C-alpha cells in the first residue's frame, strides 16, 4: 500500500468526539410513557444551564416537544413532567400528525427564542415558527413555508433589513438547501438555492438539509448539514460542513467533499430507523470555541459530541472547495 500523505491523514482526523456516556437521553428517562426521544434543539439559558427541546414520539407515532434541563449538558436532566408543547390540530391543522425536529435561535432583537419546526400536515411537512422567552409558554406563528419543506432555522440577526431563514423545500429539482428573506418573519421571498445536493454515488447525493442552526463566526456562517445516501438497505444519514458569506449568506463560500460525522456506534446504527445521526442543536462553552452538538441517534435516543469551531473552520479552509452551482436557481446575490 502506498504511504498516505499528511493531507489525507489530516482529512481523516476526528473533528467530533462522542461523549463516553452516550446515549445521554433515552425513552427510559421519560416521566411518562413514550416511544422514542431524538432530534433535540438546544440552547444555553441565562443561568448557564443547557436546555434541550426534545422531539418525543409517542406511542401513536405522533411527535411533540418536551423540555429537559441540565446544569452540565450531559447528565442530571430534569424533564418536564408533562409534554411541553403538543401539536394543536384544532387551531393549527397543519400539526395534525405532529411537530418534529425543532431548531432554536435566540434573537437578541426580540429578546426571545425563535423555534423553527416541522409541522406534519395532511399535505406533508411544512415549516412553522413559534416564539418563547421561557420554554413554558409559546406564541405560534403558524406555517411560514408550505409543504413539502423542513430542516429550517432562523439566522439570529437581520441581514440588511431582512430576517433570513435556511430551509429545505423539496421540488422537482430535488431536496436542496435554500435561503429566504422576510421583513417581519411572516412574509417570505427572495428565495435562493444556497447548497445543492450532489448526484450519483456521493454521500450527499439527491437529498441534503440543514442540521444545526447556522453558527456565526468571523469567517462566515458555519453550516453543519446532513446528506442522505440511499442504499439497498435503507438511508444513511451523515454530516458535512459548508461556509456561507457573513453579509450575503445566499453565497456559499466553501463546501467540504468528505462527510465529517456518520453513524458508527451501536446506538447510531440500530434503532427505529437504522444508521441515522441527526443533530438539531448545539451549545457553545464559555471558551467561545467548544461546541456540544446534540443529535438524535437512529431516531431512538439522544447523544452528544464535542468539536472545536476553530478546527471545523480550519478543516473547511484546508479541504473545502469554492462552491459552484449546478442548477443556478435564483441569483447568486440578493438584489434587495
> Residue 100, interface with ligand BMA (CB under 6 A)?
yes
Q: Which is nearer to ligand BMA, 56 or 159 (CB)?
A: 56
Chain CA centroid to CA 283, Å: 13
> Residue 57, interface with ligand BMA (CB under 6 A)?
no
Report the C-alpha gap between 168 and 196 in whole angstroms: 10
Binding to ligand BMA (CB under 6 A) within 187-226 occurs at none
> Residue 95, interface with ligand BMA (CB under 6 A)?
no
* Of residues 241, 235, 239, 240, the one with CA closest to residue 298: 235
> Residue 39, interface with ligand BMA (CB under 6 A)?
yes
Q: Which is nearer to ligand BMA, 220 or 296 (CB)?
A: 296
Q: Please choose, out of 18-26, 68-76, 87-95, 273-281, the segment that lies near ligand BMA by the rule CB under 6 A.
A: 273-281
How does strand 177-182 pair with strand 163-171? antiparallel
Residue nearest to ligand BMA (CB): 273
Q: Total binding residues for ligand BMA by CB under 6 A?
A: 8
In sign, the C-alpha dihedral spanning 272, 274, 280, 286 is positive
> Residue 170, interface with ligand BMA (CB under 6 A)?
no
> Residue 101, interface with ligand BMA (CB under 6 A)?
yes
> Residue 273, interface with ligand BMA (CB under 6 A)?
yes
Report the C-alpha gap between 71 and 76 in whole angstroms: 7
| Whether the Cβ atoms of residue 88 and residue 94 lie closer than 8 Å to each other | no
Q: Please choose, out of 139-147, 192-200, 271-279, 323-331, the segment that lies near ligand BMA by the rule CB under 6 A.
A: 271-279
* Of residues 119, 126, 102, the one with CA closest to residue 41: 102
- Longest Cα pair distance anywhere in the chain, in angstroms? 64
Rounded least distance, CB 319 to ligand BMA, Å: 26
Rounded least distance, CB 266 to ligand BMA, Å: 17
Q: Which is nearer to ligand BMA, 80 or 151 (CB)?
A: 151
Q: Please choose, out of 41-49, 166-174, 270-278, 300-308, the segment that lies near ligand BMA by the rule CB under 6 A.
A: 270-278
Q: Which of 178, 229, 299, 301 binds ligand BMA (CB under 6 A)?
A: 299
**Cis amide prior to 90 (ω within 30 degrees):** no
* Of residues 74, 27, 28, 75, the one with CA closest to residue 55: 27
> Residue 163, interface with ligand BMA (CB under 6 A)?
no
- Residue 267 C-alpha cell reads as 446506538
3-state secondary structure of 6: helix
The residue whose grid cell reads 411527535 is 63
Binding site for ligand BMA (CB under 6 A): 39, 100-101, 273, 276, 278, 296, 299
Amino acid at each position: 500500500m502506498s504511504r498516505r500523505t499528511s493531507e489525507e491523514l489530516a482529512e481523516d482526523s476526528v473533528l467530533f468526539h462522542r461523549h463516553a456516556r452516550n446515549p445521554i437521553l433515552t425513552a427510559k428517562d421519560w416521566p411518562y410513557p413514550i416511544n422514542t426521544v431524538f432530534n433535540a434543539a438546544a440552547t444555553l439559558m441565562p443561568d448557564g444551564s443547557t436546555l434541550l427541546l426534545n422531539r418525543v414520539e409517542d406511542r401513536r407515532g405522533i411527535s411533540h416537544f418536551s423540555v429537559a434541563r441540565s446544569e452540565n449538558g450531559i447528565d442530571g436532566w430534569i424533564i418536564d413532567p408533562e409534554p411541553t408543547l403538543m401539536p394543536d390540530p384544532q387551531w393549527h391543522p397543519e400539526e395534525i400528525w405532529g411537530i418534529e425536529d425543532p431548531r432554536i435561535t435566540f434573537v437578541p432583537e426580540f429578546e426571545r427564542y425563535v423555534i423553527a419546526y416541522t409541522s406534519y400536515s395532511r399535505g406533508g411537512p411544512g415549516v412553522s415558527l413559534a416564539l418563547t422567552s421561557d420554554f413554558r409558554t409559546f406564541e405560534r406563528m403558524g406555517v411560514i413555508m408550505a409543504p413539502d419543506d423542513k430542516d429550517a432555522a432562523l439566522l439570529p440577526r437581520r441581514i440588511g433589513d431582512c430576517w433570513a431563514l435556511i430551509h429545505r423545500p423539496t421540488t422537482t429539482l430535488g431536496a436542496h438547501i435554500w435561503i429566504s428573506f422576510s421583513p417581519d418573519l411572516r412574509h417570505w421571498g427572495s428565495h435562493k438555492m444556497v447548497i445543492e445536493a450532489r448526484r450519483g454515488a456521493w454521500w450527499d447525493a439527491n437529498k441534503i438539509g440543514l442540521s444545526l442552526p447556522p453558527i456565526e463566526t468571523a469567517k462566515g456562517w458555519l453550516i453543519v448539514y446532513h446528506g442522505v445516501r440511499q442504499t439497498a438497505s435503507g438511508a444513511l444519514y451523515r454530516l458535512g460542513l459548508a461556509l456561507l458569506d457573513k453579509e450575503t449568506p445566499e453565497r456559499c463560500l466553501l463546501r467540504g467533499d468528505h462527510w465529517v460525522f456518520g453513524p458508527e456506534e451501536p446506538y447510531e446504527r440500530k434503532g427505529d430507523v437504522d444508521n441515522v445521526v441527526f443533530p438539531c442543536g448545539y451549545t457553545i462553552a464559555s471558551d467561545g470555541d467548544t461546541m456540544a452538538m446534540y443529535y438524535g441517534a437512529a431516531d431512538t435516543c439522544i447523544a452528544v459530541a464535542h468539536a472545536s469551531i476553530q478546527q471545523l473552520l480550519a478543516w473547511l479552509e484546508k479541504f473545502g472547495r469554492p462552491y459552484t452551482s449546478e442548477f443556478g436557481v435564483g441569483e447568486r446575490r440578493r438584489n434587495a
